[in-house]
Structures are given as C-alpha cells and as structure tokens.
Amino acid sequence: MAKCAICERAAHFGNAVSHSHRRSNKMWKANVKSVKVKVNGGAQKMYVCTSCLRSGLVERA
C-alpha cells in the first residue's frame, strides 16, 4: 500500500456498520499520487497525498 512520503498518511481501518448493525471490516485509502518532485536540485519520483500537493509542501519537478 502506498504511503505519503511527506506526512506519512496511509490507509486506515475500521468497521462498516449496516442498518441491522452487522459489522464488516472496511479500509479507507489515502488519496496518494505518484509525482515527480524537486529534491536537492534534481527530480525524484515520490508518493505524495493530494492534501500535501495542494498545500504547497511539495514542489513538482
């Protein structure tokens, strides 16, 4: 599973609860993209979540 290289956001687990209150396992995945990022003057490919991209924590190459 992909994980954000900046904030380390990853998948979360919990229960999906139906109307009759039966529970099954559910996984919420982070919105993670593979992006070319500027690192030390060069370009490097990283997995970055969209909230880090939108907030300007990462500069695209």
Give 11-60 pLDDT, tens digit per residue. Answer: 999 999 999 999 999 999 999 999 999 999 899 999 999 999 999 999 99
Q: What is the value of pTM for the model shown?
A: 0.77
Q: What is the dihedral of CA 47, 1, 55, 57, to 10 degrees?
A: -40
Report the number of distinct structural domains present in the chain.
1
CA distance 41 to 21: 54
Q: Is a pLDDT exceeding 80 seen at residue 1?
A: no
Q: Which domain holds residue 9?
A: 1-15+24-61
Residue 61 near residue 46, CB atoms below 8 Å: no
